Amino acid sequence: MIFVIEQPSKEFEIYVSNMIIRGQRPMSIIKKEAKKLIDKLPEQATWDDIMYEFYVKKKLAVALKAAEEGRVISHKEAKKRLLSK
């Protein structure tokens, strides 16, 4: 498996924000981000590698948005919640 994890571009973060707020999906931005991601992968990349990179990119964008909105908890609180189960 190949790992090319990078922080999503500001353009992608804005896209995700707008998508969540308005429910719109400007495909040109999605296609640009997908092409950039694929172009960074080596020639021997598999479909699984590509899908994994898309999955990670989306998860990072959503997590960054949540952090910007203050929807985070401390490490101490996370540990407390996990240990209480």
CB 62 within 8 A of CB 16: yes
Q: From the CA atom positions of the chain, what is the Rg in Å?
A: 16
Strand, coil or helix: what is 15? Answer: helix
Q: What was the pLDDT predicted at 31?
A: 83
Q: In the chain, what are the domain boundaries?
A: 10-83
Q: What was the pLDDT predicted at 1?
A: 46
Q: Give 25-47 pLDDT, tens digit per residue.
A: 556 777 888 898 999 999 999 99
Give this prediction's pTM. 0.58
Strand, coil or helix: what is 64? Answer: helix
